[in-house]
Amino acid sequence: MGFSVAKKLYTGFIAVLLILMAVGVIGYLAAMKLNNEYAFLLDDRVKKVEMINELISIEKDISINSLTYFAFSEQRNLEEIKKKQKEFADIHNELSQIIKQPNNRRILSELEEAGSRYSDLVFKVFDSQEKGLQAQTAEYADEANKAEEVFKNKALELKEVQVSLMNETRTDLNGFVRAMKIFLIIMVVAGVALGGVIAYLIGKSITVPVKKMTIALNEVAAGNLQIEKVRIRNKDEIGEMGAAFNEMTEDLRTILSQVNQSALQLSAQSQELSASTEQSTASSQMVAGAAEENMRGSSEQLELVGKVVVSMEEMTEGIKQIAKNNEEMLYSAEAVEALISEGEKATENVSSQIEDIHSSMQETEEYMSILEKHATEIQRVTGLITVISEQTNLLALNAAIEAARAGENGKGFAVVAEEVRKLAEQSKTSAADIEEMVKEIQKDTNLAASSIGTASHKIEEGLSASETSRNVFKKITDSVKEVGDKVETVAAAVEELEAMTGSIAENANQVRQIAEKTAATAHDSSAATEEQLAAIEQITASTQALATMAVELQSEASKFRV
């Protein structure tokens, strides 16, 4: 036997559940990966860029304090330089731990080397100035400017590399979001389509043969045994029941044909027996001959009735086998209904998981809104830095004018003012760069939020598809219940047929008893002529009863069309 009904339903439900579970797991993993990628973008790429900007800012602070100390020799400027050097070392160490690419580590090493050389040369400038070595001071100052320029170039180079990596990560992330949206849509559509096909095929493989069996059983219950064989190709319990039904109808046709033939023969024998008894009343010799003929006819009648009884017993066994198969099919339908209930529960669990994924996507969307607010705040701060830089530039210009008025005594202050002006210009430029990066982050954040919103919409469509699957399960449940009703109808028809065969068997037993009595009477009539006359009267009555039984048997058998 091939797949049974239960195995077919198991296979179909498990396939649908596996598809739904795959959609749920893939959606959950996609949400987790998306969250991790955004965390990596913010915690790693952006953080590195911010730390590089901090190094540039610290180096600018060291340069400003160095020029101020060179001009005014204030101790607080020297302490501030040492403090900034310590901050520079801390940030550099942290960057060294999180930057793993060899090329970036090389640039970071060159940047640290240039920064250290600049700091060493600054202190050499201070020492030469204190000793009054003007030529050496100028030489150290020139080398310090070159070292500072190298530091700036390396810092900008490292920053550009990190910004490029950040853009690559953002591009990869956007591509991943697009791919996951397409994949989830395909999985949901394929799951719904496959579930519908499986439900249709399973329902068709059950309802079509059961409908054929129901029609055929109704025909048999109505007494029509001339129906064609039920053709069921299923290799399961339904197919076995169809084969058993065909065999039963064939046996019933054979049995009823034999019953009709036996009834006709019995009627003929009864008529012959009646004629013989009439002739036996004329003379005792004719009575003796009639008794012998009656005895032979009774033996033949007894043999025919025995065949009828055996045939009816075989037909009863066939009907019992049909009833047994019908009970097994009813049990299978109940088991199927229980499996469908389990399938509905599993579908509800998968829908709950998809709703959890939807909640996670909404939470991620809230985090993106918070990130956008932080980016706006950074943009506001960079704008403030730009304003401060412009004001510092104006102050440096005023200081340069005042230094020019002071003449020779204001040259050192003029140098400091010029450096302050340059630093203000650089701060303004850096603030503008940061503002551009923040705008890019805001733009990408908006795109990511839009993508997450679209993904949430697709997940809602997945929830709708899960609801469709539950409706499919409900339709299958209704079909199984309808199958159960049909099976109960078949059981009622089988019970009615069994009652009819029981009645026929009972009549056949009565005929056999009468035939046995007739044979015994014919045997006893040969003892004496007087007894033969009495026996002839009894035979006449028995013959009439036998004829009546034969008519009743023919009437019962005529209910079936063979």
Burial category of 97 from C-beta neighbours within 10 Å (exposed 0-12, middle 13-18, buried 19 and up) = exposed
List the chain domain ranges.
Answer: 210-344+483-557
Which own/partner contact pairs does 65-72 have at CB distance under 8 Å and 24+ positions apart? 66/122, 66/125, 66/144, 67/415, 67/416, 67/419, 67/420, 68/416, 69/126, 70/125, 70/126, 70/129, 70/412, 70/416, 71/412, 71/413, 71/415, 71/416
Q: Say which amino acid occupies 518.
A: T
Lowest mean pLDDT among 41-55, 123-137, 375-389, 465-479: 465-479
What is the pLDDT averaged over residues 257-284? 69
- pLDDT greater at residue 167 or residue 223: 167
What is the pLDDT averaged over residues 85-106? 85
The pLDDT score that the predictor gives to residue 108 is: 80
What is the pLDDT averaged over residues 184-188? 86
Q: Are 304 and 553 in contact (CB under 8 A)?
A: no
Q: Tens digits of per-residue pLDDT, 484-533?
A: 676 577 567 657 766 766 775 676 566 567 656 755 765 665 565 566 66
| Residue percentage of the chain with pLDDT more than 90 | 1
- pTM (predicted TM-score): 0.38
The pLDDT score that the predictor gives to residue 499 is: 73
Q: Residue 247 above 80 pLDDT?
A: yes
Q: In angstroms, how far is CA 406 from the centroid of its own chain? A: 85
- Name the band, by pLDDT with cuts 50, 70 and 90, for residue 14: confident
Q: Say which amino acid occupies 164.
A: S
Mapped onto helix, strand or coil, the DSSP state of residue 561 is: strand
398: how many CB neighbours lie within 10 A of its CB? Answer: 11
Both tokens assigned to 374: 């932080």
In this structure, what is the dihedral angle of CA atoms 466, 470, 472, 475, given to the nearest 10 degrees?
-170
Cα-Cα-Cα-Cα dihedral sign, residues 37, 41, 43, 48: positive
* Cα angle: 247, vertex 550, 318; to 5 degrees: 20
Q: Tens digits of per-residue pLDDT, 351-407?
A: 676 677 667 666 766 766 776 676 677 667 667 777 776 777 677 677 667 767 777
Residue from 6, 4, 8 nearest 337 by CA: 6
Report the DSSP beta bridge partners of residue 561.
224
